[in-house]
Structure 1
Amino acid sequence: MKKIILALSFFTLLMSCSKEDNAPEIETEKPVDFYAVGGGYPVSGNTRAVLWKNGEPTYLTDGTYEAFAYSVCVNQGNTYVVGFENGQAKYWKNGVVQNLGTQTADYFTKVQVVNNKVYILGIVGTQIKLWEDGVPTNINGITGSFPYPCDFKVVGNDKYVLIHSDHKANLWKNGVNTVLTSGTIPDTTRDLCVVDNNVYVLAEETDNGIKKIKYWKNGVVNYVNNPSYNVYASHIDVNNNNVYIGGKLDNKAYYWKNGQATLVGLSTGSSYNYGIKVVGNNVYTVNSDNGKVKFMKNTTQVFIDNVSAVADPNECFVVYK
């Protein structure tokens, strides 16, 4: 009899373990911090450089002079922001402006931290420079009269810099510049993404008043199938071989995933998607929506800046907490 009871007990335990092993696991989504930068427009006075964290604005300048923040990067708990104030480049770390000594510039446009080194892209006159911990490298070989430093990426030992110059997209890599367009059809160069040794460059093409969003992947052009010619692009991100593009379509904020448009502008007024970041399975966008800065997760608003009278974001950054 004891053998029968023991056998039944073992069978019950075995079935119990089997049920637990086969039970579906409920994945808990990791919380994130959602950053953005741009400019805040008070009721009166000058535009101030702004850093948002989870919808809450921190003003990096006091409004004495015109200022704007262009780029943000968060690394190991430190927040890096670059932009300009009063016609001079500014760099803030954790909200405190950093003394660059003799390393001055007209403005900084992008910041990235790689292996504890701070890289900043900017321009002095017409000379584009990439600083590595304060040491500048001249980005030479760019044709055209009015170069603009759009973006850069540091990946391993490779440095990529994207420049817009005289309606042409220039991709500089480790000292060698490649012009992606002939210039016969004007392009507006926007953004750069490098993933798994693939290089993506985002631009808008304007041909006889017809505007199209396009991107190059390793030098091969791809067009976004937009249903209207009233389109604008801002940023590009790539995740799991899916290409995401933020921008505007018919005065509404949208993002495109592999060419498929998704509306993220909520108000009845005009809106613009100024930043996009894909983390996990979620698409985060920051929009200027009828004068308010709104922070979206997929198609749901998660934060809004109700402090600033009017504000324009320029870029977003999302990290796990």
Structure 2
Amino acid sequence: MKKITILCSSVLMLLSCKSDDDIKDNPGVDPSLFANVDLYYSGLVRNNAGVYEFKYWKNDSIVHVSTPEMVVPAEISVQNNDVYLAGYFQRIEGTSGIPLNGAVWKNGTLIQNLKATENDWVTVAAMKVTNNVVHTAGVINRKQVAYWKNGVLNKWANANLFTKVYAMDVVGNDVYILGDTQPEGKSNHVIKYWKNGVEHAVSGPDELAYGGDIKVIGSDVYVLGTVIKNGYKITLWKNGVRTTIGDNYTFGHAHSLFVENSDVYISATMQPKDGNTSPFIFKNGVSIPLEYDTDKGCSLYDLYVNNGDVYAVGSQNSKGLIWKNGKKHEISVGDFNVTLSKIDGVPKKK
């Protein structure tokens, strides 16, 4: 448990605040990366004061996001040429982050403050934009699953369990939210998803498991997670049927999945036995080779697929990374530390 706590804490401490003039627009990205799609990706840039600033990019152009408070980024989504970002504000007390409220940005401008009551802690971990409707999901006071539709709050699920939310999907009028809960008096976490507020258990009641991502394609529900038993195992459920992906790892987390046609792509950051923290992408259970410095730790978080081309984002050696079909491209902003966590894309018209 100690190692997974360290991993989660490192993500939590990726903070940002309002724009600093010392960050210049100089990513220096190979333009061939954007030959077929416009890529939109978000993350954090550490400024000269040591504070992480929330940014997003369109291809090789960086956009400064208006953030009056520190931010933990959650999601990026592009609809009708508009770029939506989600995350939550937080305050640092000692070595801990205290959640304040969730937020949504459109084209870099704050458009929604997502709150419950004045004194509630609110985290936002997921967003889906459909037909100009912004759906967001998170947790209130670390116990209550929360869903907002255009900023209007609906409270879901049991408020008496420690709960985390990781992802969501929206299909028609149906809203799916993926998370995990820790039952009172127990040390295990159970992966669950809620469909329109109704709970569906995914992992076993006595297993230790953490959520990752959810995608709904037609009548098929895909759930990604990490099961901890004799090692850390990347695990995919399709309509409740479980498949273990890759090996048993020392620790790590399965982050995201993408389904294109009948192909299922999975991204993860895992530590193999006798190795460093490493990035992984799997296509239908088969690992895709990735370029990175194997002598140092490397993280990979999110992926996007277009016509079989696989794009992913992560970080290594204080630089952001984008992979296209396994080839890495460094995203640098001067000498500042860059971490990339989310990606979306729009195919270019031929």
With normalisation by structure 2, the TM-score equals 0.76
Q: Deviations over 1:275-314 (max 9, x none)?
A: 1111112001112122211111112234523346223222
In structure 2, the residue corresponding to 1:194 is in which secondary structure?
Answer: strand
Give the equivalent residue in structure 2 for 1:281: 308
In structure 2, list runs of 5 or more residues that go unmatched: 1-33, 91-99, 183-188
CA shift, 1:184, in A, is: 1.9
1:199 maps to what in 2?
221
Distance 1:48 1:84, change over 3 A: farther
Deviation at 1:130, TM superposition (A): 1.3
C-alpha distance in structure 2 between counterparts of 1:239 and 1:153, whole Å: 15
Measure how far apart 1:155 and its partner are.
0.2
The aligned counterpart of 1:6 is: none
Cα deviations across residues 60-90 of structure 1 (Å, max 9, x unaligned)?
256x743232101100010100112233322
1:116 aligns with 2:129: no
Q: After superposition, where does 1:97-112 map in structure 2 within 5 Å? A: 97-100=110-113, 106-112=122-128
2:150 is matched with which residue? 133
Q: 1: distance between equivalents of 2:335 and 2:102?
A: 23
Q: Give the Cα–Cα distance (whole angstroms) in 2 for the partners of residues 81 and 299 of structure 1.
A: 26
Q: Where does residue 254 of structure 2 map in the other structure? A: 233
Partner Cα separation in structure 1 for residue 195 and residue 114 of structure 2? 28
The AA in structure 2 aligned to 1:260 is: V
State the 1:175 CA deviation. Answer: 2.6
Question: Structure 1 228/180 Cα, relative in aligned 2: closer, same or farther at 3 Å?
Answer: closer
CA deviations 1:168-215 (Å, max 9, x no partner) are 11111123101112342200111111123211111111114x111101
Taking the aligned partners of 1:290 and 1:181, their CA distance within structure 2 comes to 35
Match of 2:36 in 1: 31
For the 8 Å contact 2:105–2:112, the answer to whether it is kept is: no
Deviations 1:211-255 (A, max 9, x none): 111011011111113264455311111112111111124322120
Matches within 5 A, 1:138-157: 138-141=155-158, 145-157=161-173
The answer as to whether partners of 1:48 and 1:68 remain within 8 angstroms in 2 is no
RMSD of equivalent CA atoms:
2.4
Equivalent residue, structure 2, for 1:26? none
1:319 corresponds to which letter in structure 2?
V
The amino acid of 1:259's aligned partner reads: G
**TM-score, structure 1 as length reference:** 0.82
Out of 317, 321, 331, which is 1:294 matched to?
321
Are 1:71 and 2:75 matched, yes or no? Answer: yes
Q: Which amino acid aligns with 1:266?
A: Y
- In structure 1, the gaps of 5 or more residues are 1-28
